[in-house]
Amino acid sequence: MMKSLLCWPEPVIRVQSLAASGIREIPERYIKSPSHRPSLNNDVSQPQEVDVPVVDFQNLFSSDRGLCDEALRCVHNACREWGFFQIVNHGVSHELMKRTCEVWHEFFNLPLEEKQKYANTPATYEGYGSRIGVEKGASLDWSDYFFLLLMPLSLVNQSKWPAIPASCRELVAEYGSEVVRLGGKLMKVLSMNLGLEEDSLLKSFGGEENVGACLRVSYYPKCPQPDLTLGLSPHSDPGGLTILLPDENVGGLQVCRKGSWLTVKPVPNAFIINIGDQIQVLSNAIYQSVEHRVIVNSNEDRVSLAIFYNPKSDQLLEPCKKLLTKDRPALYKPMTYAEYRLTIRAKGPCGKKQVESLKSPRQSD
Ligand code: OGA
Ligand code: NI
């Protein structure tokens, strides 16, 4: 088993400080190789923004006879075809969403010394950070972030969350619990769509008391050369499900679909949901995590809030027995979530390489 590192391999540079220094050219470390650069708006072959399927969550639960078939089918198709969907009427207060976004904008606008009090390390990643992988000399992305744990409650340590703005801890706790509740509902919907018992995926994650959840607030500063870099490199999310509140005013999330990068057009007050690698494993690839990335721009900063709904750390994950057939045996070998996450953290964003590497030997012959 790999050991986690206790400190970063190089001095950390805050991207926000770099951007604020007024540089006209970004440092070499942020410049992507030509094939990994985004093709921005001047490329007419690239559609500007696309509509990712939208599901009305109220419809889903409105039927007297259990979940509404049509809405279930809509989620199922989006999971199969996109790995992404948006939900509206999800039950989380719009006011709470707005206030939580605002508080994080305020946090990132605090003086650097205040934010540095929460500087993180690769030991747990909790706190204020600017990189994901720990490989020395690795290419860097144009973003800073704040990462914190919301679940399980036994591991939550609010003293690691920002004390300023004064309302931050309370808002994050309330927002976190609402979104985690929504995550639980989504797990039921996905279980049923897979033809499993309603609580099946949740059980495979270790049960309601034990599931993990964390929040990553990403801050993508304005960038003087947005065509040369990325706010977040292509990756699939390692955990179960991601519930993203994108910046409503500034786009940037791109999803890979049939080999092209499409920019997601956020629907007001919606959450963007995507399938993570562990649902791919449990569903034996009936649902697959999809690569996504974030582009930046030269006009506006962007803030997004991603809540990752994850299995318990020491939970062993493998394809659900009920989904296996003679023609479709288990595609993945069992691995604990903690072990899986460590490999991702060591390497940083690496597209879908990690989940592919879990394939049982007979599948990759
Ligand atoms: C992530 C992610 C997208 C965004 O944090 O894993 O994909 O829009 N974020 O910030
Ligand atoms: Ni992601």
The answer to whether 337 and 278 are in contact (CB under 8 A) is yes
**Closest protein CA for atom 10 of ligand 1:** 304
In this prediction, residue 4 carries a pLDDT of 60
DSSP 135: -
Q: What are phi and psi of 336, to 5 degrees?
A: -80, 155
Indicate the helix (H) or strand (E) that contains 213. Answer: strand 212-220
CA distances from 195 to 117, 188, 192 (A): 48, 11, 5
Using one digit for the tens of pLDDT, what is the confidence trace for 353-363?
778 877 765 55
The bound ligand whose nearest atom lies closest to the alpha carbon of 218 is 1
Q: Which domain holds residue 144?
A: 3-363
Tens-level pLDDT at each residue, the chain (365 residues):
455 678 999 999 999 999 999 999 999 999 999 999 998 654 444 546 888 999 998 887 766 666 778 889 999 999 999 999 999 999 999 999 999 999 999 999 999 999 999 999 999 999 999 998 888 999 999 999 999 999 999 999 999 999 999 999 999 999 999 999 999 999 999 999 999 999 999 999 999 999 999 999 999 999 999 999 999 999 999 999 999 999 989 999 999 998 899 999 999 999 999 999 999 999 999 999 999 999 999 999 999 999 999 999 999 999 999 999 999 999 999 999 999 988 777 777 777 877 887 776 555 43
Sequence letter at residue 333? K
The answer to whether 322 and 117 are in contact (CB under 8 A) is no
Ligand 2 center from residue 53 Cα (angstroms) = 18
CB 143 near ligand 1, within 6 Å: no
The bound ligand whose nearest atom lies closest to the alpha carbon of 289 is 2
Whole-angstrom distance, CA of residue 97 vs CA of residue 87: 14
Locate all alpha helices (DSSP H) within 118-164, ordered by sequence: none
* 138: Cα separation from own chain's centroid: 21
In this prediction, residue 63 carries a pLDDT of 63
Which residue(s) pair with 268 in the sheet?
Answer: none
Using one digit for the tens of pLDDT, what is the confidence trace for 23-71?
999 999 999 999 999 986 544 445 468 889 999 988 877 666 667 788 8
Ligand 1 center from residue 233 Cα (angstroms) = 10
Sequence letter at residue 196? L
Task: Give, for ligand 1, the residue of 304, 308, 344 to mutate: max count of ligand atoms closer than 8 Å to Cβ.
Answer: 304
**Closest protein CA for atom 1 of ligand 1:** 306
Total domain count, the chain: 1
In this prediction, residue 268 carries a pLDDT of 96
The answer to whether 121 and 133 are in contact (CB under 8 A) is no
CB 14 near ligand 1, within 6 Å: no
DSSP 3: P
CATH code for position 196:
2.60.120.330
Residue 164: both structure tokens together: 């300023």
